[in-house]
Structure 1
Amino acid sequence: MLHAQWLEFYNRRLVLCSRKRFRRVLDIGTGTGIWAIDFADEHPEACVIGVDISRIQPGWVPPNCEFQVDNLELGWTWSQPFDLIHARMLSGCFRNPGSIFKQAYDLEPGGHFEIKDVLLMPRCDDETLKHDSPLLLWASLLARAANNMGRPINLASRYQRMLVEAGFTEVHVVEGRWPTNRWAKDRKPRLFGLWSELTLGRELETISMALLTHGLHWEPEAVLVLCAFVRQEFLNPEVHAYFPVFTAFGMKPLRSPRGTSIAACDMDSVL
């Protein structure tokens, strides 16, 4: 369902970078593999590899798509470079996220690395999200637990800097927001609020349980109680909260760059 939410958010575009044709594509942290499958269908000229630490992908896939099981924190072993590497919602997956960006730099010259994520720290522009909000408390506890486990989750706002530090040029960042529920008056934000209710809102326990029990040593019953309070506020249309959404992408230069450019974009200028 999150795949459908991302697709709708970006007007059915699987990637935002400017490249149009692809030869070798890698989807890291592919999960169910749905992005890799859709990309392989859309680009039959490309060989698409989805990699994940767990084998949960389907067996029936397009002929130009394959899935591999690997731990990307142990080093990458592909002998041929890629011209596109894609990643989505990988916050908290790696102990050293910067090393993933550096390994992703091993692209074909002119290749792109694109990464998408949600910042799980809600914001609000009209003070309807109070400072003692259960939703804010929940987000802060998740961040603290993830840091205790050595796997930080709120990195999305730093992705442009991480791309630059890894050596990418022509770095762009597209920012958006997902309302927590259907509080927005305009049709499109209201639609994404509905998506948030169906995805994040229904999965609070799944998102929270491992982090809070392992990172903060909470009892499972306490996690369930917290999630019950958070869900009440999450779904309350009187609370105008939203999660920031980031997509960042950069290119490996065709030759050694003399300088690096960074651009922050609004969605309308890219979509």
Structure 2
Amino acid sequence: MPNDEEEQERLDLMHHLFLLSYDGELYHAPLPKTIGRALDIGCGTGIWVMDFADMHPEAKVIGTDLSAIQSGYVPQNVHFEVDDAEEDWQYSQPFDYIHIRGMGGAIANWQRLLQQAFDNLVPGGWVELVEFDAWASTDDNSLPESSAYYQFQTLLGKASELFGKPVNVAKYFRKFVETAGFTNIGEDNRKVPLSPWPTTRKERNLGNYMQMAMSESLEPYALALFTKMLNWDNIMIQALLAGARNDLKNMDYHIYTTW
């Protein structure tokens, strides 16, 4: 089981991967130059919050998470709170922008979360959702269903559904935001290799980082879910994860996810 420091390093690596995938951009919403209030749900280590606050020194930026793992040294316009976003929101003022990234598997009721986001935005405000499919796809059917990685992702999806917080939710986001009342909805879907199998330098570099991140993320994703929901013991889990890590090193498997 990873310790707090390892988990912080993993979260910061994922932040780096999002930046690589989106050409260094922290966000894609067409925000005005001047922003009053911004909220980051599930802020993790707070690295996105602090980068955003540096870009928008005029804004008050709030980051919330279930764990207080953020730095104690923050810009003056940043405030971190320990909070459960699935509880009733208690903000006294609305936000110009709400950012929600990498929360698949952490939210039970996405529709309610996005309804609360809608209700806590100023008129004309923006919500931005960034998520990756917890599923390795291929365009050439090169990942066998008998492979350890295919079995891992299938079982992970099943276990997260049983737990009530599914990991593969990105495909439903458009329906969620439409139901909440949002308009002017845009999408930017990008394929991201899970290992350095592509031929272009940029994609190979991204694949190298993704391979590292996924290898480190398999156990945090699987351990509790497989134990509690599937009644697996640790020996069974570690054997499957070892096989999945080997599959991430197999360049014959042209696997990618979609962000």
TM-score, with structure 1 as normaliser: 0.88
* 2:205 aligned residue (155, 178, 191): 191
Q: CA RMSD in A?
A: 1.0
Distance in 1 of aligned mates of 2:230 and 2:258? 25
Distance in 2 of aligned mates of 1:196 and 1:162? 28
Which residue in the other structure is 1:248 paired with? Answer: none
Which residue in the other structure is 2:103 paired with? Answer: 90
Distance in 1 of aligned mates of 2:249 and 2:187? 29
Which residue in the other structure is 2:5 paired with? Answer: none
1:59 has 2:84 as partner: no
* Aligned pairs, number: 245
C-alpha deviation, 1:94, in angstroms: 1.5
1:9 has 2:29 as partner: no
Deviates more, 1:17-26 or 1:202-211: 202-211
Q: Which has the higher strand share?
A: 1
* 1:230 aligned residue (218, 227, 244): 244
Alignment of 1:1-271 (within 5 A): 1-20=13-32, 21-106=34-119, 107-245=121-259
Task: For residue 107 of structure 2, give the secondary structure of its aligned residue in structure 1.
Answer: coil
Cα-to-partner distance string for 1:222-246 (whole Å, 9 max, x where unaligned): 111100011111111111011111x
Cα-to-partner distance string for 1:125-184 (whole Å, 9 max, x where unaligned): 112111222211111100110111111110011111111111100111110122111000
Q: Is the 8 A contact 2:211 2:249 kept in 1?
A: yes
After TM superposition, where is structure 1 displaced by more than 6 Å over at least 4 residues in a row? none
Query: Counterpart amino acid of 2:37?
Result: R
Task: For residue 174 of structure 1, give the secondary structure of its aligned residue in structure 2.
Answer: coil
Distance in 1 of aligned mates of 2:22 and 2:193? 15
TM-score, with structure 2 as normaliser: 0.92
Q: Is the 8 A contact 2:46 2:70 kept in 1?
A: yes
Cα-to-partner distance string for 1:40-59 (whole Å, 9 max, x where unaligned): 01110100000011111110
Q: Is the 8 A contact 2:39 2:95 kept in 1?
A: yes
Distance in 2 of aligned mates of 1:143 and 1:210? 13
Unaligned stretches of 5+ in structure 1? 246-271
Distance in 2 of aligned mates of 1:72 and 1:202? 26
Q: Is the 8 A contact 1:201 1:235 kept in 2?
A: no
